[in-house]
């Protein structure tokens, strides 16, 4: 799997004027990589995800997946937006099976796979409960399970932990990396947190304010598996300083 965005431009029509949001973005994602995108609020990060997912069509440029243009095409990514978007009138199991139900896949097979993954996602015993009994972290894990069950190699995760408290968020980081290493998916991840980007990622793209472009790209050389002790290392702190300088420029 190889994703490449080549000179992407996009604008929103506001009356008779075009408001430019994306201004020549170039970025890439290799098979099995975890790549984060960080930038100011409102700069166009979620718009980029909508373009990659085919929910919008870029006005200029190409989005290439394995060398083939996917401009305006859907169904090639698993996309988790900022909110968990669980339906309160459906059980946790029904929620995670929603994708299979809508796409009319073999629901019986999907159900068996989902049930086998409930322990891995920390949801065992909650299959027949409704989302109201779940904590914030558990709701996010249910939403991620639904995203993983979509079975696309490329995952788009748009600030999935943004609404969680700091302690829960840190626990979710370690949990997500464990799931990612086991399931071997490619992840493109949006965050506003420099620490989150460093801890999770192989590479980080820093975007400019709107209309957005890539300001800088950073490699994260920290060894895997990641540990919280690494956040005190000179290497970690040096990279954090560089990211802060780029982001707050």
**Confidence band of 98 (pLDDT split at 50, 70, 90):** confident
For the cut 80, the answer to whether the pLDDT of residue 101 exceeds it is no
In the sheet with 3-14, reading across from the earlier edge strand, the strands are: 17-29, 3-14, 60-65, 68-69
pLDDT tens figures, 119-145: 989 999 999 999 999 998 899 899 999
**Which residues, in sequence order, are bridge partners of residue 3?**
29, 65
**Confidence band of 16 (pLDDT split at 50, 70, 90):** low
pTM above 0.85, yes or no: yes
Q: Tell me which H or E stretch contains 155.
A: strand 154-158
**What sections of 77-228 are H helices per DSSP?**
92-96, 98-102, 107-117, 136-149, 166-183, 194-200
Residue 65 · residue 3 · CB < 8 Å? yes
């Amino acid at each position: 799997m190889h994703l490449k965005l080549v000179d992407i431009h996009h604008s929103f029509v506001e009356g008779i004027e075009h408001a430019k949001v994306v201004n020549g973005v170039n970025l890439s994602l290799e098979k099995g990589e975890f790549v984060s995108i960080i930038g100011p609020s409102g700069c166009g990060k979620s718009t980029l995800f909508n373009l990659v997912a085919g929910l919008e069509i870029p006005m200029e440029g190409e989005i290439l997946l394995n060398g083939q243009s996917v401009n305006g095409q859907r169904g090639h990514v698993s996309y988790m937006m900022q909110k968990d978007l669980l339906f309160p009138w459906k059980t946790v199991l029904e929620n995670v099976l929603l994708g299979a139900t809508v796409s009319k896949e073999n629901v019986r097979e999907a159900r068996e796979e989902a049930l086998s993954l409930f322990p891995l996602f920390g949801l065992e015993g909650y299959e027949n409960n409704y989302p109201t009994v779940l904590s914030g972290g558990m709701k996010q894990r249910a939403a991620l399970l639904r995203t993983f069950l979509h079975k696309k190699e490329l995952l788009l995760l748009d600030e999935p932990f943004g609404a969680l408290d700091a302690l829960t968020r840190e626990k979710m980081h370690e949990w997500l990396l464990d799931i990612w290493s086991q399931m071997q998916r490619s992840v493109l991840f949006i965050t506003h947190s420099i620490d989150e980007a460093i801890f999770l990622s192989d590479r980080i793209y820093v975007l400019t304010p709107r209309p957005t472009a890539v300001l800088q790209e950073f490699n994260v050389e920290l060894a895997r598996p990641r540990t919280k002790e690494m956040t005190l290392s000179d290497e970690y702190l040096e990279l954090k300083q560089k990211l802060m300088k780029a982001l707050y420029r």
